[in-house]
Each structure stands twice: as C-alpha cells, then as structure tokens.
Amino acid sequence: MSTAPDSATAPSTPILPPLQIGKHTIDSPVVLAPMAGITNRAFRRLCRQYGQEGLRAGGATGASSLYVSEMITSRALVERTPISMRLIEHDPDEEPRSIQLYSVDPVTAGAAVRMLVTEDRTDHIDLNFGCPVPKVTRKGGGAALPWKSTLFASIVAAAVREAAPYDVPVTVKMRVGIDDDHITFLQAGKIAESEGAAAVALHARTASQAYSGHADWSRIAALKQAVTTVPVLGNGDIWSADDALRMVAETSCDGVVVGRGCLGRPWLFTDLAAAFAGSSARVEPNLAEVSSVLREHARLLVEFHGDEGRGCRDIRKHIAWYFKGFAVGGQMRQQLGLVDSLASLDDLIASLDLSQPWPSEAADGQRGRAGSARKVALPEFWLDSQELNDEQRAMIALAEESVSGG
C-alpha cells in the first residue's frame, strides 16, 4: 500500500496510551464497530492485517485494535442456530476474540454469556444498546432499552456476573438517547460503570437520528466527565485518522470506535494505528492496490460462506465503497454490482485503468447508511415511565424471538 509522499516515516510521542479493556491491552486504542452483514470473520481478518501494519509502523506489537463481531441475538445463540454459531467463529490467530450480544432479557443474556465463557468461545463481550433499527427498537431493544433503567442495569449485571469468573470483560455500546426529549447516555453510562462494565462506548447520535446529520461529540466529552473509573470510547463521524485525533482532542475520550468509516477502507486501521502512535503516515492506494484489496475481500468472503456464489453476492455491496472517488464509470459499476464469480470479478478489474492514483478528497467522506431523522418505533406506552409495567414485562420476555441476530 502506498502512503502519502510527504508522510513522516518515524513515529513520535504516542497520542494515547494503550486501551485497557479488563485484562486485555489494546495497543492501538481503536475498536471496529459491529456492523450487521459487514464485520464477519472475513472483514475482520482484513482489518486486523492492516491494523498490524500500522502498529508495526508505530514501533509497537500486540493486539492492534479490538475487532468486534456482528451483533448476535442472545436467544439465537442459546438455541445454537446455525447462523449464530457461524457468526461467533474466529480465526485461530484472532485475539482477543470479541462478540457483540443483543438482548432484552437478563435471563437470556446471562445464559448466552454463560455459554460463551464456559465453552471458551470469546475473550470479550460487548452489549448492544445502540441499534436504532425499527425491528429492534419496537421490541424495546437496542437504543430504546436504556430508557428502562432497571432493565438496562439487570442485563448488564447478568452479563458481568456470568463473565467475571472467567475473566472475560463486558463492555456496553449505546447512543445518546431515544430522541432529544429522552436522553439516557449519562444515566446509562453511570449504571454500566457501577454494574461492572469494563468500558462504555457512545455513538454520539440519538436513535431518532439513526445515521443522519452529525454526531454531537460534546456528548462524548460529557460522558467522559461522568464516567471516571473505566474507559470511555467515542463513536460517530470518524472517516479518517485525522477525525479520530480530533475527536480525542475535543472530548478526552480514551479511544475511538470506527464503523462506516472503514467501509471499503480496511486500511483505515493502518492509518489509525500510525496516527495514535504519533506518526503522520497515511495510506493512499492507487486503483490497482484498491482492486487487490477488494479481490482479497471477495476471496475471504467465499471462504467464509463456503460458497463462491454467495461470497460474490456478499462482496457486491462493498464495491461502491472501495471505488468511491475513482473514475470507474456507471456501466462498469453496474456490471461489478452483478458479479457472480471470482473469475468474472477478475475480468472486470482487469478492464479498469488501474494506474489511477488515490483521488484524495473525492474518496473522503460518508459511506454506508445515512438516511434522515425519524420517529423511533417503540412499544406502546414505552416512554410513559422508565420502569417496565406488567404488560411490557411480558412483551420483553417474548421479544427476542422475533428479532433476528443470527
């Protein structure tokens, strides 16, 4: 991979110390955010490879960053559905092994964590309280759940209770709140800290924002002031290593969580590791290099799915992200979006002008979901109280059955 020609090649003083998540020391204080259909074993492997390159450039060794799995529903895991069992698979050299769980019920959450730790399937568990997707929030899950403060506390407590004897840290990822009138992050952060969470991560948007507008980084700074005994991680609008450095400078957070910023840019982890080590080296690949990464991603997806057709269908959504800013052409993009074999992908890549340099600003900025602000889908009367009523308690007991997470 090419780096910017005027980049510094020697690291200087680290910007942040390593991130400590329970017993795990993460040399580059960066977390790959769980993304449905994205952060499977194939994509995590690519990101890890580039993170290690950045770590070596910064003169360090060890776990480059923390790479979290896709969100997995606790009930599906307890029932050992084939999809959930595949989603919790890790590469032999993947360390620490990290899994994100979704749950709306403390009993099910505890059972899922117990399965993972007693069977030695993970080294770190993250709890999802940030998902804004309607099929999740209308059942009281994801970003809707911290509003019910006692339920939130009981789920975190159940997970920590089961994981602690095995020295597996539990972290919490959440949003600012449901909407501007129902802000939950400060209360939730303090609860998570008091119940034994090893770190808290804040996506600085409300559920009603979804992925629209701008993340309000001042909320991360406020959480850092409120939560004092465990790391606070910032998430939202990190599209480059310089964005990450700016977030840390503005909020004093202990590390960053990167989601959409690495779509079509797994080498962002090289940049992040180098940046936090104090180096200004940045990766600026030409089209030949980007195409090579895309092709390797496709190969890994074929391997992950065990099916060439399915792996090639999976890579289609990534293609526009990889080629953003390059002169590829509409017809070619359409053909790439229909690729059905590695051989056809090779033929299409070979027809491109692979000598194109990195397109700089044209390649920057938003990728992935955006959309617009919306009213959050919630269970009936959810906002009337921060405690569950009897009807909501019965609904919660059944809610995980209808939310697919694996």
Helices (H) and strands (E) in the chain, counts: 15, 12
Alpha-helix residue ranges (DSSP H) falling in 119-231: 134-137, 149-163, 185-194, 217-226
**Which is it for strands 182-183 and 177-179: parallel, antiparallel or unpaired?**
antiparallel
Catalytic residues: 131
Do residues 15 and 247 touch, judged by C-beta distance below 8 A?
Answer: no
* H/E run at residue 233: strand 232-235
SS3 293: helix
Do residues 140 and 383 touch, judged by C-beta distance below 8 A?
Answer: no
Cα-based torsion angle of the residue sequence 213, 215, 216, 221 in order, rounded to the nearest 10 degrees: 180
Q: Is the dihedral of CA 351, 355, 359, 360 positive or negative?
A: positive
